[in-house]
Structure 1
Amino acid sequence: MAANPVPVVETRSAERGTEQPAPPAGEKGTPAVPRGLPLFIRLFLFILLCALPPLVGLGWSMRDTNKDALQELVRHLHRSIVGGVQGTVRRELARVEQDLKRISHILFEPGLGDDATRYALAGSRVAALDGIDFFTLYAPNGQSVTTVKAEEVPDPQIASRLEPALLDALRASNGQLVFESVRANRQGAPVLEVFYPIVRDGTVRAILGTQVKLGELCDELGGLGEKFLGSRENVFVVDHERRLVLHADQARVAAHEDLSRHGIFAALSGNASFRTHIAAIPDFQLDGLEMIGALETIPERGWAVIVQQPRAVAYASLSKMHWSILEALAVAALVALVAGLLGARLLTWPIRDLMAATRALAERTFRGVGERVTRRGDELGALGRAFDSMALTLEAKEREVVAQTQVRAALSRYLSPDVVDLVVSNPDQLRLGGERREVTILFADVVGFTRLSESQPPETIVALLNELFTFATEIIQRRGGIIDKFIGDCVMAVWGSPQSHPDDALRAVQAAEDLRRWLDVGNRRWRARWGIEIQLAIGIHTGPAVAGNVGSEKRMEYTVIGDTVNVAARIESMAQPGQILVSEATRERIGDSGVELVPAGERQLHGRTAATRIFEVPL
């Protein structure tokens, strides 16, 4: 409908083009023709007036837009680096805590032999670890009992008796790691003193002390600073006393350097505590330089991650960009001048043939559109040939757009976005109907969701589920699975379809472990925000299923159907809060992969006559 007025205007112009020229001035009864600027000059000036102001305005707009975009990019980069360092530090400390927990199991779990045997087993465990070389076992009163280390490790410098203040902190830690301070070991390398209380029946039975090597973390931070911020010195971590914990210069870390006078802390309002969540991107001064940086705390540790960069370095491209825009404006003005001259000249030639060519193009006559013009031998002939080339390109682009529209229309039938990449890369891989495949199904359900829904506002429940599902999706996709669907407060994930891997069962179990580990972090956030926490019950089963498209011609869903799905759901329904149950079929597919599975007996599943052997993934 919007194209209808165009032919009317063109027709009127054509009609004006057929009018007879006015009689020469001076003839009897004929008015004199007014003299003025030639049409060529008027068209040339008109084109310049239309082109130059928008170009100038566009240039200044680009200047401001690019400046804002660059500033936002720098801040986003700093935030991303801070987040990456936070994740790395938290993972390393969580790994150390898990290592000490396993050592405590070796030392105190029944059935592992006498003390000498337990110490030997614990020593073998320590020798296999990367982050720690030894541990010292303390009695509940803080007196050193023994030190277990790898053979090649020299005798460590460790206290023979713990201070009363440290013992009080360990008793109040509720079984969590307690960090003392950063110091240098005998080799001069920075280490972090860590103590772990071994709690049994609510009482501290013993204490494990060790020193976490910080060299690799320091090098990793230095690499981030050098790669993204131009200097290894620009990423570091401090404790609540503003002393260095992690830095590329390990000597400064070993000296536990005091950075309380650093400019970024002066930019924070008040004497902020790192035990609360703080995120800031301030501008500050450091040694006379204008700096931009980012700070975000790790509240559970009382640490803060800091990145910094001189503003002159961060925005070095801004000045160059300004000159580039000015040069582009000058070139654009020159191009507009030349285009004005050429355009005015071309437009002064007979308009009718050009209108015929443009009308044909408007009618989408893509082939032969320039035939009315190309038979000429002047500039209009060249323009006509250009029209022909443009018509061929438009025809090809139209076919491409149609093909893309068809693909997108097909994709819109799928509810799950996880198979989109596969469909785009190989549309024939997902056929109508289904195919029989071996798949591994994971169900993860929020325990006690009905009671939680009754006690909390719906806005809180929605926010909690959104955050839970977001991280669950990231974990499952990182382990190679796809989200089949969200069923209320339950997640159903699939491994083995539409693409399969030899270790799909192992990936599913690892994803379940990741979910359980991440839930500890999520619960800390939710307790701080809403005063609530949740637990997941997880069930996993492997077996045959039909994977394919289910639905109608207008709306389809890629999913898996079969008894395997029902078994996985029933195994999940038997799991206790925080428990991961795995079927015998999944255990057989995992084999000797290093995943520890504990027999949980035979269970009678609802609707099945034969009992099913179940295994548990221990904490």
Structure 2
Amino acid sequence: MAANPVPVVETRSAERGTEAPPPPTGEKGTPAAPRGLPLFIRLFLLILLCALPTLGGLGWVMMDANVVALTETVRHQHRAIVWDVQRTVRSGLARVEQDLEDISTILFGPGLGDDATRYALAGSRVAALRGIDFVTLYAPSGQSVTTVKAEEVPDPRMPSRLEPALLEALRASNGKLVIQRVHTNAQGEPVLEAFFPIVRDDGSVRAVLGTLVKLRDLCELLGELSEKFLGSRENVFVVDRERRLVLHGDLARVAAREDLSRHGLFKALSGDSSFDTDMVAISDFQLDGEEMVGSLETLSERGWAVAVQQPQSVVYASLSAMRRSILFALALAVLVALAVGLFGARQLTQPIRELVAATRALAERTFRGVSERVTRRGDELGTLGRAFDSMAVTLEAKEREVVTQTQVRAALSRYLSPDVVDLVVSNPEQLRLGGERREVTILFADVVGFTKLSESQPPETIVALLNELFTFATEIIQRRGGIIDKFIGDCVMAVWGSPQSHPDDALRAVQAAEDLRRWLDVGNRRWRARWGIEIQLAIGIHTGPAVAGNVGSEKRMEYTVIGDTVNVAARIESMAQPGQILVSEATRERIGDSGVELVPAGERQLHGRTAATRIFEVPL
């Protein structure tokens, strides 16, 4: 095909209609370089552009990382304090529970005498305890029986009869301490009303012990812990599910049962939260106009929550000094980047000029290297210069090799298919006799009545017709992924599956046969108008194993496929009528449900084969 002509565009002045002046030229007629910033300035600006955002981003990340790290440290500290408070509260209540269990053993254990003796022993045990001053014994019905206490302790204010809801909670507590409420004792100190069920072996409640647990020691411990780690006795406290103080460093606030339901820390929780499930909340909030950081974690088995709070001004006090240090370091780094940028740009400019000159020479296909001033350098530019010299030598050799390969491919492509040409050129060591076993699909397409046609037409007409037929047949077969194995007079033998194979080789072969049949209608119209003749093709296709490789002698060989599959395909083609495409059962099985319509043509007895072969036809 002829090359498309290159359009010539004439540029004219929009105002005067005259031809535009040619662009300015430099040495040897090359276009002059556009004016712009020198390379030195560009490299300097590039270094700054790369360094400054990186340094700024690094500083920002460092400050942000410090904020995050400090925040995490504070939160870990709060969690540690919360865990310490939880452990202390659980330990104190467990000690009370153990004391009440010991008293229950005195009251109901075997071999300790009558009730008076047991009550006296229980009173002595209570007098020795620090956290409780008395124990009131209740019957399983909830009715008060007696109170055991030291003589100097005033009569306690305990209910004479337990409420049904409390009795039900005691039965469901599985022998554990049940907390009721916080109130004050006769001395005005905060105490915790608690009840302990005495359980029989069968799980029923034998009796109940009630007492008031003093909270002074726990509150003092919380105050000391808060003051030691957070700088104030106000920053650690425990509340119940009604958000009222249970434990705090200030006993008066606990005794007053201060309501903290409007405290900012509880806004992180839903309004109906009862603290009966394990939960952790971390929040920033305001307290009396001051920004605070707080953490809250539930003591779920009691329906309580431990809260820790701290002013943000105290938490982030070290950030200001940290930011000043980082900004100073960044300013110093910027000055260093400026100095490095100036020096680096100066060092890079001269060798790059040398490389640019060598590149221009390379564009003119001179294949010369760079000067010794660049190649003797010991840095990366010297390495680049030496690599450029090596590249020039390699490009010169490769150009000669490409020219040679192009000439070889052009010559071979006139005799072999492109796949075989690629195989020969890329793997010359495969140019030896022999082959490999492969599954292939063979197509034979034969001109019907060629002998009669040859008798009625001059040889020049027959050759021209066959050349045109084989040209389009080759194009169709190669487009469908096959190769031309050989031309046998007026017959074309094509192969799919060698040297390159595809999963749908059989389908490609059938599609190529249909393309050949459709194209022949166009070809016949031309030949009828030109020579007054037309032809028909008989096509046979078969799939099976064959040996593909080089056949012949060491001096003259041919890439082809050999085997019974080739013979079967030829026999099928010989049975085809003009314009008919016959396909073997093996090819049909490889095609599967691909959408190609195949019509059974019965069983045929192929020449030289004992078993009958099922044949299918591709309908028009």
Larger radius of gyration: 2
Bin the TM-score by the shorter chain.
Answer: 0.3 to 0.5
